[in-house]
Amino acid sequence: MKRHLPYILLLAFILNACSNTKYLPNNQKLYLGATVKVTDKNISKKDAKAVVSELSDLTRPKPNASILGLRVKLYLYNISKGKKNFISRFINKWGEPPVLWSTVDVDNNATILQSRLQNEGYFHAMITPDSVIKNKTAKAVYNTVTGPPFKIKSITFPTDSDSLDTAVAGISKKSLLRVGDKYNFDVIKNERLRIDARLKEEGFYYFSPEDILIQVDSTNAGPYQVNLYEIVKQETPDKAWDIYTMNKTYIYPRYSLKDTAAKLDSAIHYNDYYVIDPKNTIHPYVFQNVIALHPNEPYNRTHHNQALSRFIDIGPYKYVKNRFDISPKDTLKLDAFYYLTPYPKKSLRFETLLRTTSANYNGTQVNVSWRNRNAFKGAELLTVTLMGSTDVQFGGQNNGYNVYQTGIQTSLTWPRFISPLNINTNNGYLPRTRLQLEYDLTRRLKLYTLNSFSASWAYLWKQDVHISHELNLFGFTYTNAADITKEYQDSIIHTRNPSLKHVIDNQLTFGPSYSYTYTNTTEDYKQNTYYYNSKIGLSGNILGLVSGADTLRGKAKSIFGTNYSQYVKVENEFRFYHKLNANTKFANRIIVGVGLPYGNSTIMPYSQQFFIGGANSLRGFRARSVGPGSYFPDATITNGSGFIPDESGDIKIEATTEYRPKLFSIVYGVIFLDAGNVWLLNSNGSQPGGAFTRKFLNDMAVDAGLGLRFDLTVLVLRTDLGFPLRKPWLPDGQRWVINQINFADGGWRSNNLVFNLAIGYPF
């Protein structure tokens, strides 16, 4: 009996949740929603299905939310309503009040639905409302007769010879209206917006969409057809008929609401614009790549919006507003005024966070950042960040081997290319040049200390809203180990694992890298969205070739006593998101990375190798615990050493798919499947099975699991519970794990479950 008690309680809850109607006031009925029925045979099944879907979304009000037919939120409201204790008030926040049949105006809904159909060309549409009432529930039914849709027979564009009519007729080839299409009022409205947008590119600054009239004639078109006539309204204001060109542009870099004077007499002329900055807060040349409207050129809205975007993109300014005035000397010219409100020049930011890593470490991190948004009066962003963190493990394989890290990072970013070549991008995004210097100290108790120095000079720019580039013209990293303990040295000898030795090898890398990114994932209205990133990194290539570096032949080359790394590294990541509906999507990711050491190196430097496992990777395995290949340290090694090394490789393949439904309120669920591994490019005797071969698929680790996401708007808290399905280090025929979860005595247990707590989505 005790064993079945949880199921009995669950069944009782479900049955009780079904009886929400017992809480209704007298003579009230619970509204269960609306049904749209198309009874007309004049339209195809496909069109009828589209009509039902569209009209169903327009009915109001919406019924109470349900999950598998159970109105849980309504039930929570009912059981907590009127109670004042803390628990009831808390439960009530998750509930929702009943939607009553008395609040439904079926006649008004029918009018709205009929109007919608007529706007889509069903001019003879009729909606007849009805209802289905049973006990204490009620449904609305809207019987729909659409009639045949009216289609466009002909379209006539303006024929007069004045500039405005000619311009409208000249852009007719890209009209949204097409002969043979169904009449649609929304398309007509969008056509007027299209005309306005296009004319704004040709100097018609004072034109508006309301100046276009599209007349509809069904009397002379034939059965179920209409003729359309695009005309410019005769009452259109005189200014809307003229083309305006630019005259002067004035910029106010330190504007506040208290400023009312124009101060044109103090304007400094630079190139095609004037800067009014009595306190000399910024150099006038900063705006030369911002202003896209130039004297004597027709007004162009795209160039105007581009300038607004770039003013913000410079960095020091949080607001920009502008106005255009007709020039006092020429009534067909415009003067532009841009008013910029700056951020505080200097700021100090303090951040602290708590974290739990998938390697069973609990840690804290503190960041202190000082920023100067206009360091040298050229809109440079100077940032100095101090960082300190601790990661401590209580129990587990690395108990006592705590990790402490501190560092300082300084970066200087210019909102333009710093280059001997005159390079500019012709879009709304300013290019950037970044100089970055960094020092990190990592201390792993009982093991070693690592010092890392790095520097880079990079160019960053956006090609358009979807494509961005980053070119590190030169990157330099030097890492050296200190305070290596005897315990760690003994571990290297005992485990015979080269990964341990590789961690403390002095490393020197230098060379360029390039990254290309395409993404449209911010366009939530699309059913399918994508993300793709490709990166290539080089180190020591030219110097290695010139010097004839060849470690395998005993010709290792060094700089300041340290052998430098020579390699080519390529990384690719592709993500695909498919929306099943507004609240459910599939998310997929594939990662393929290859590092090719050669010449002065036989293995990739540790900082550039690939790792797998953990909260953002294979969630059924601990971080950095998989691979390389089918290698796994045997018991005689791990039992005799207090420290197990992180596993790494020169090649990485990883794939993930997730099903992400919204459950309720801010809670989202996930079911996931992960697969992947890392491999060595060259085999070594200490890690058998670690090299990449043609049978690499047989080395894939696989896991599955489920989790919850709590979307708090400012951040997403993620919990994942994963368990391995396939362990590549087991013997052939035993790698697929069958009995990971055992059910017994009414409960379950597992020795392989891995819990991950993280911030944000894994991808």
Give the residue ranges of DSSP H helices in 522-655: 541-547, 635-638
Residue 268's DSSP bridge partners are 275
pLDDT for the residue numbered 664: 83
Separation of alpha carbons 298 and 163, rounded Å: 14
Sole residue written with tokens 């403390």: 504
Q: Which two tokens stand for residue 84?
A: 């004042």
**Contact assessment for residue 641 and residue 700, using Cβ atoms and an 8 Å cutoff:** no
Residue 31's DSSP bridge partners are 138
**Contact assessment for residue 496 and residue 686, using Cβ atoms and an 8 Å cutoff:** yes
* 238, 260, 491, 718 from 485: Cα distances, Å: 86, 69, 10, 37
Q: Which two tokens stand for residue 175?
A: 């009209």
**What's the whole-number mean pLDDT along residues 335-347?**
94
pLDDT for the residue numbered 642: 46
Side-chain half-sphere of 440: how many Cα atoms within 13 Å?
A: 14
**Contact assessment for residue 125 and residue 114, using Cβ atoms and an 8 Å cutoff:** yes
**Phi, psi (rounded to 5 degrees) for 71:** -90, 75
Average pLDDT value over all residues in the chain: 87
pLDDT for the residue numbered 185: 95
The residue among 13, 160, 124 whose CA lies nearest residue 76 is: 13
Q: Are strands 212-217 and 225-232 parallel, antiparallel or unpaired?
A: antiparallel
**Phi, psi (rounded to 5 degrees) for 111:** -65, -45
Indicate if the pLDDT at residue 518 is higher than 50.
yes
pLDDT by residue (tens digit) across 175-223? 999 999 999 999 999 999 999 999 999 999 999 999 999 999 998 888 9
pLDDT by residue (tens digit) across 71-105? 888 888 888 887 878 777 777 778 889 999 999 99
* Beta strands, E only, 614-650: none
Q: What is the pTM of this model?
A: 0.78
pLDDT for the residue numbered 340: 95
Separation of alpha carbons 627 and 700, rounded Å: 9
The residue among 447, 510, 435 whose CA lies nearest residue 483 is: 447
CA-CA-CA-CA torsion sign (419, 422, 427, 430): positive
Separation of alpha carbons 228 and 710, rounded Å: 51
Choose from 265-269, 378-382, 421-425 the range with maximum mean pLDDT: 378-382
**What's the whole-number mean pLDDT along residues 619-634?**
83
Indicate if the pLDDT at residue 746 is higher than 50.
no
Q: Quick one: how far is CA 335 from the chain centroid?
A: 39
* 165, 183, 201, 333, 454 from 243: Cα distances, Å: 12, 33, 10, 9, 55
Give me the amino acid identity at 609.
Q
**What's the whole-number mean pLDDT along residues 397-404?**
68
**Phi, psi (rounded to 5 degrees) for 313:** -70, -20
**Contact assessment for residue 617 and residue 646, using Cβ atoms and an 8 Å cutoff:** no
pLDDT by residue (tens digit) across 108-138? 999 999 999 999 999 999 999 999 999 899 9
Side-chain half-sphere of 733: how many Cα atoms within 13 Å?
A: 0
Separation of alpha carbons 732 and 254, rounded Å: 71
Q: Quick one: how far is CA 340 from the chain centroid?
A: 29
pLDDT for the residue numbered 738: 59
pLDDT by residue (tens digit) across 551-582? 888 888 888 888 889 999 999 999 999 999 88
Separation of alpha carbons 600 and 511, rounded Å: 14
Regarding predicted confidence, which is higher, 223 or 495?
Answer: 223
**What's the whole-number mean pLDDT along residues 443-466?**
91
Give me the amino acid identity at 647.
E
pLDDT for the residue numbered 351: 82
Number of helical (H) and strand (E) elements in the chain, helices listed first: 12, 31
Residue by residue, DSSP assigns 296-342 as TSBP-HHHHHHHHHHHHHHSSEEEEEEEEEE-TT-TTEEEEEEEEEE
| pLDDT confidence bin for 262, thresholds 50/70/90 | confident
